[in-house]
Amino acid sequence: MAAVPAHTEHSAELFARASTVTPGGVNSPVRAFRAVGGVPRFMASGDGCHMTDVDGNRYLDLVSSWGPLLLGHAHPEVIAAVQAAVGRGTSYGTPTETEVLLGEEIVARTPVDKVRLVSSGTEATMSALRLARGFTGRAKIIKFAGCYHGHVDALLAQAGSGVLTLGIPGTPGVTEATTADTIVLPYNDQAAVTAAFSEYGDQIAAVITEASPGNMGVVPPRDNFNAFLARICTENGALFISDEVMTGFRITRSGWYGVDGVRPDLMTFGKVMGGGFPAAAFGGRADVMSHLAPEGSVYQAGTLSGNPIATTAGLTTLRLATDEVYAKLDETSLTIQRLVSTALDKEGVPHVISAAGNLFSVFFVESSEGPAEIRDFAGANAQVLPRFTAFFHAMLDAGVYLPPSAFEAWFVSAAIDDDALAELESALAPAAAAAAAV
């Protein structure tokens, strides 16, 4: 089936209206297509692995709401559970049984002893940092360039010019005082971490890292990086915080922990555990978590935390996410990676497919002699961005919705079937040619 450029009149009109009432026309920046240009598509519905926009264009969805939709759109059992829950009321401001069940499910799947529910990944990492600082009585934190942990002020920091300079604000509105206690280091760089601990060891409250980064594109940990981080934290009385907002309950039933088995002191979760609703969590060692209010003195709270609809969607999703589902996701992801590579190779487009379990991204590199693997943010930044843009738009025109940025992971869902893979394969040929033409 030949690709027909989509009609976008209704999306364009909504985008114009949205831009008059909302900055940039969107409620989260990457949705605006700034990196790739063109009209952001306003979606009207989703079913399985497809979404349909307001102009009636149908897309194979490889974003999955940026991760949450492990089972695809409108999974019948999730929808039925949510509809039943909505009928009983939407929020009580009291504890509920579903929160207990979701908490038990998370504790059963991961190494955390206790968990606190919140409403976004940002809240989870922000609260985990506060708890780590409250628990250790220390101020400084280490994060890695290219890792994203939500829009927490202290984590919107960029590396200074030297390896051991303290973080500088990554956006106007974050003060220097706020990032003065944030040390930003290159990812996968054990020597940099060792140097930071020798300089500031007794002041470091925590190291926070994505369990396997997906926010600079997929850049997995190398040489047991997480085990190294856990060890150096323990040796120095700091806490190791593993951010599994993206990887949690997606890569395996217990997230990236199910791959490398490194036990963090604190973990953060989001996305899949909310089943497409706002739910997230942080958890960890019982002795650390007991410092949280009302048991301890570190304050943290939320009007809609543990919301009954969100926890119902999350619990239902997790109960359906069996080992067979994860095996299928792995297989689907590998098939897609192979199809992409074959299409790009056929057109002679140099690329690196970087994968971590079923998460992967495609880096368009300068030449086929280029790096065999992407290790850090500097590596991710060496992409040929115009090639990604051409590829992205050709895929979109052919009905495949990819993340509208070269610095994002592709998210598969269990709803992707053989027909969808065939759709993808026919879209890839013109898209690879478009990338080659740049």
- The answer to whether residue 257 forms part of the interface with ligand PMP (CB under 6 A) is no
- Report the DSSP pairing between strands 351-356 and 114-118: unpaired
- The answer to whether residue 208 forms part of the interface with ligand PMP (CB under 6 A) is no
What angle is formed at CA 252 by the lines to CA 246 and CA 258, rounded to 5 degrees? 100
- The answer to whether residue 105 forms part of the interface with ligand PMP (CB under 6 A) is no
Q: What gap in Å lies between CA 117 and CA 307, rounded to an integer? A: 9
Cβ count within 10 A of residue 95: 9
Question: Shortest approach of ligand PMP to residue 176 CB, angstroms?
Answer: 23
Q: Do the beta carbons of residue 206 and residue 241 sit within 8 Å? A: yes
Considering the candidates 140, 143, 271, 328, report the single residue annotated as catalytic. 271
Q: What gap in Å lies between CA 75 and CA 230, rounded to an integer? A: 38
Question: Shortest approach of ligand PMP to residue 123 CB, angstroms?
Answer: 7
Q: What gap in Å lies between CA 36 and CA 43, rounded to an integer? A: 18
**Catalytic site residue 55?**
no
Q: What gap in Å lies between CA 398 and CA 392, rounded to an integer? A: 10
In the DSSP assignment, the letter for residue 186 is -
**Catalytic site residue 148?**
yes
Measured from the CB atom, is 66 or 228 closer to ligand PMP?
A: 66
- The answer to whether residue 122 forms part of the interface with ligand PMP (CB under 6 A) is yes
Tell me the residue number closest to ligand PMP, measured at CB.
121
Measured from the CB atom, is 246 or 262 closer to ligand PMP?
A: 246
Q: What gap in Å lies between CA 394 and CA 376, rounded to an integer? A: 28
Cα 210 to chain centroid distance, Å, stands at 9
Measured from the CB atom, is 271 or 387 closer to ligand PMP?
A: 271
Question: Shortest approach of ligand PMP to residue 111 CB, angstroms?
Answer: 18
Considering the candidates 53, 140, 148, 401, report the single residue annotated as catalytic. 148
Q: What gap in Å lies between CA 243 and CA 324, rounded to an integer? A: 25
- Answer for which of 99, 105, 210, 265 binds ligand PMP (CB under 6 A) is 210
- Answer for which of 15, 42, 148, 187 binds ligand PMP (CB under 6 A) is 148
Q: Which stretch binds ligand PMP (CB under 6 A): 18-26, 199-207, 240-248, 313-321?
A: 240-248
**Catalytic site residue 271?**
yes
Helix (H) or strand (E) holding 259: helix 257-260
Measured from the CB atom, is 121 or 255 closer to ligand PMP?
A: 121
- The answer to whether residue 243 forms part of the interface with ligand PMP (CB under 6 A) is yes
What is the SS3 assignment for 371?
A: coil
Type of residue at 267: M
- Answer for which of 8, 120, 136, 252 binds ligand PMP (CB under 6 A) is 120
- Answer for which of 215, 305, 311, 405 binds ligand PMP (CB under 6 A) is 215
Q: Which stretch binds ligand PMP (CB under 6 A): 45-53, 242-250, 255-263, 377-385?
A: 242-250
In the DSSP assignment, the letter for residue 187 is T
Q: Which residues contact 345 (CB under 8 A, 6 or more apart)?
A: none
Q: What gap in Å lies between CA 430 and CA 305, rounded to an integer? A: 46
Q: Which stretch binds ligand PMP (CB under 6 A): 30-38, 116-124, 281-289, 372-380?
A: 116-124
What is the SS3 assignment for 168?
A: strand
Q: What gap in Å lies between CA 359 and CA 401, rounded to an integer? A: 16
Question: Shortest approach of ligand PMP to residue 434 CB, angstroms?
Answer: 28
- Answer for which of 150, 217, 221, 306 binds ligand PMP (CB under 6 A) is 150
- Nearest residue to 152 via CA among 132, 337, 136: 132
Number of residues that bind ligand PMP (CB under 6 A): 15
Give me the residues that bind ligand PMP (CB under 6 A), please. Answer: 66, 120-122, 125, 148-150, 210, 215, 243, 245-246, 270, 280
Active site residue ranges: 148, 243, 271
